[in-house]
Structure 1
Amino acid sequence: MLKKLLQAVIIGLITAIIIIFVSPFFYNQAPFLKDILSYKDAVRIASPAVVNVYNQSFTSINNNYQAQVNNLGSGVIMSKDGYILTNKHVIQNADQIVVALQDGKIYEATLVGSDNLTDLAVLKIKTNNLSTIPQNPKREAHVGDVVLAIGNPYNLGQSVSQGIISALGRNAFGDFIVRQNFIQTDASINRGNSGGALINSAGELVGISTLSIGKNANEIAEGLNFAIPIELANQVMKKIIRDGRVIRGFFGVQSDILFSNGQGAISNHQKGVLITSVMDNGPAAKAGIRPGDMILKFGNTEAISPVQMMDIISNIKPNTIIEVEISRLGKTLVLPVTIEEYPIN
């Protein structure tokens, strides 16, 4: 009995020694067994809905017309029946807009409409059953989220760059206007990426790539790239499809967020939006609003930030009268303001 027990122990020890020495060999010879971090599923979901957009013009040479590509960019298929979002600057002054799908099919696109303020344009191609990128309105974007930019940089073909969301609600300058509420990312956005998709690691559409700072010889900034949040892009697209343009309300001020210093030196109010300048003969000026006033309420909504105020005002129908509660020199006033139509469309 003891002899059999000793044999079993010896056999067990030998087996254990063999496993200890042999298993690393098999593990090293089978790297495919190791897990790696990959975003291939997100790219697989989203990439078929990202298209190449070409801005072409025609020139006549000896009575023969030749097409020339003036600009290139990307676009995102937003509906199965052919509505596509891209940037306005991609298709500006085009004689012909050509859209190339990832399956090799090429279409001539019709410009449905565009919007200067957000630099968005809506195109339409005649086809059906197109791929679209999933959207998840319930998933809130956060600083630090991993994002992927999909587009056609320098016409090399569809490419993917990876980064994170660096900031939300950013202001950026372009075409002599300030555009607000950008997503800032360090995912590379080069020439040709404009109008492409910014997605999260689940393959959901987060924004429309639009602007990069630091690509010119006179600039040294790196990693400052911007995208239009998809919530705003969807609003603009729906208005363009419905009206052919974006009809938005106009207030006529420039503003900044203001918080009390806690000692009452500025205001007893904890928050508000400070008016820094008022446009001559604009709706706010006509109502008697002055620089230095602080907006406390806009209608029944408490004023929290300039971005929030812009969203509220842009969705108000022109010629609507709104009561604006302000603080001026320690006094609270309520002024009726007639909202006008935003002059740049």
Structure 2
Amino acid sequence: MPRVVRVASFVAQSVAIGLALAFVAVLVRPELVGRVSMSTANQTSYAKAVAASAAAVANISAERVYNVPRNAFGRQGVTLRGRYLGSGVVIDREGYVVTNWHVIKDAEQVLVQLADGRIAIPKLVGTDPDTELALLKIDLPDLPEIRLGRSDTLEVGDVVLAIGNSLGLSQTVTMGIVSATGRGELEIAPFEDFIQTDAAINAGNSGGALVNTRGELVGINTAVIGMADDETMPEGLGFAIPVNLVRGVMQQLIANGRVIRGYLGVDEPRDLPADLARTLGIDDGSAVLITGVTGPAEAAGLRRDDVLTHINGERMFTRRQAMNLVASAQPGDRITIRVVRPDGTPFTTEAVLEERPRPP
């Protein structure tokens, strides 16, 4: 059975008998802007793209401490130190470095090593677990920076390059194509809009760069698909956060230290099952099933098993569409909601959004 594997390498520095620690890693992808058509016909080298971008891709090392409790035989518990290896991208000369949240999560110490060998201890600007992104800041002179491209102009079949600290081998470059855009429902993060690529992505690539043939950043590598038995790793199934999404998150983290999103209080919404759509007479069969309510949703009179069809007059077809629309609003915004009750009765109400709570 397929599962998503985050791609940050883990190196155990303390060992206890009978204990094995594995490594995990993740990748993510950016958002949207305008497009200039690119022709890669007969192109045999992408050295210029690498030269324009690779210097801005850094190695990230995060040290974590694990307390292993006393075992069933009464033996003393132990404290282990482990180091996770990932990647990051210097996005401007001010020293801002984007990476994946899981790369630096719960770290006691983080080190950023640039392609030229310089090492810095970064300041944590902010994290956004909802998109699997984190922003660091380093204080070094003469920093390289990567040019930000536009992920909304990517097309399936475009050539892309993945650059990162693959398996601890810094500045590793692999090539592939955009296999798909707008991938969601991967259970990597609450808000997903991933670029899928067949460029090889390995442990340590998490937080690294996905660039186009001009060397512009189009995504942040975040995850690969693996198999549940850990024995089979399908090739060509990597995922990156689009740069347009990265750009918006980065701007909010710099301004606020966090990302501020609207929150309705609809718990675990689901895409409406086809049989229920037929029962309720929803012709196109697409809407959002509410499985629980709290906060603003409860105050607005919404109930469990209501079927959400419209927000502010816009037809809602999927849970992801509804979540993104609410999240794009601000706390205090008032929205109009239309639902169909389980007995088929229509119901319209208004809700005042709160700020979305941060994941635990």
TM class by smaller structure: 0.7 to 0.9
Kept after mapping to 2: 8 A contact 1:153/1:192 = yes
Kept after mapping to 2: 8 A contact 1:50/1:76 = yes
Structure 2: gaps (5+ residues): 1-41, 67-80
Kept after mapping to 2: 8 A contact 1:173/1:179 = no
Instruction: Give 1:167's match in structure 2, choosing from 180, 187, 191.
Output: 180
Amino acid at match of 2:271: D
Structure 1 distance, partners of 2:288, 2:146, is 39
Q: Which residue of 1 aligns with 2:76?
A: none
How far does the alpha carbon of each residue in 1:85-135 deviate from its partner, in whole angstroms, 9 at most, with x for none? 001111122222111111222111111111211121100001344222222
Kept after mapping to 2: 8 A contact 1:274/1:292 = no
Q: Which residue of 1 aligns with 2:282?
A: 267
165-174 or 298-307: which moved more? 298-307
Are 2:353 and 1:339 aligned? yes
How far does the alpha carbon of each residue in 1:170-194 deviate from its partner, in whole angstroms, 9 at most, with x for none? 22224xx644212222222211100
Q: Which residue of 2 aligns with 1:21?
A: none
Q: Within 5 Å, give how 1:3-22 maps onto structure 2.
A: none
Q: Report SS of the residue matched to 1:166.
A: strand
Structure 1 distance, partners of 2:143, 2:272, is 43
Q: Within 5 Å, give how 1:12-161 maps onto structure 2.
A: 37-56=44-63, 70-137=83-150, 140-161=153-174
Amino acid at match of 2:44: L
Structure 2 distance, partners of 1:315, 1:167, is 24
Q: Deviation at 1:54? A: 1.0
Kept after mapping to 1: 8 A contact 2:288/2:316 = no
Q: Deviation at 1:139? A: 5.4
Q: Deviation at 1:216? A: 7.0
How far does the alpha carbon of each residue in 1:114-166 deviate from its partner, in whole angstroms, 9 at most, with x for none? 12111211000013442222223385122222221110112112101122222
Amino acid at match of 1:255: R
Q: Which residue of 2 aligns with 1:11?
A: none
Q: Deviation at 1:266? A: 3.8
Q: Higher RCO, 1 or 2 (CA under 8 Å, sep at least 6)?
A: 2
Q: Deviation at 1:200? A: 1.8
Structure 1 distance, partners of 2:274, 2:216, is 35
Q: Deviation at 1:57? A: 5.6
C-alpha RMSD over aligned residues: 3.1
How far does the alpha carbon of each residue in 1:26-68 deviate from its partner, in whole angstroms, 9 at most, with x for none? xxxxxxxxx7622212111111111111113699xxxxxxxx7
Which consecutive aligned stretches of 4+ in structure 1 deviate over 4 angstroms post-superposition? 257-260, 290-294, 327-332
TM-score, structure 1 as length reference? 0.76
Amino acid at match of 1:337: A
Are 2:270 and 1:255 aligned? yes
Q: Number of matched residues?
A: 299
Q: How high is the sequence identity, in percent, across the aligned residues?
A: 39
Kept after mapping to 2: 8 A contact 1:272/1:294 = no
TM-score, structure 2 as length reference? 0.73
Amino acid at match of 1:37: T
Amino acid at match of 1:344: R
Kept after mapping to 1: 8 A contact 2:272/2:307 = no
Q: Deviation at 1:308? A: 3.3
Kept after mapping to 2: 8 A contact 1:99/1:106 = yes
Structure 1 distance, partners of 2:357, 2:274, is 31
* Structure label with greater radius of gyration: 1
127-136 or 334-343: which moved more? 127-136
Structure 1: gaps (5+ residues): 1-34, 60-67
Q: Which residue of 2 aligns with 1:213?
A: 225
Instruction: Give 2:316's match in structure 1, choosing from 296, 303, 324.
Output: 303
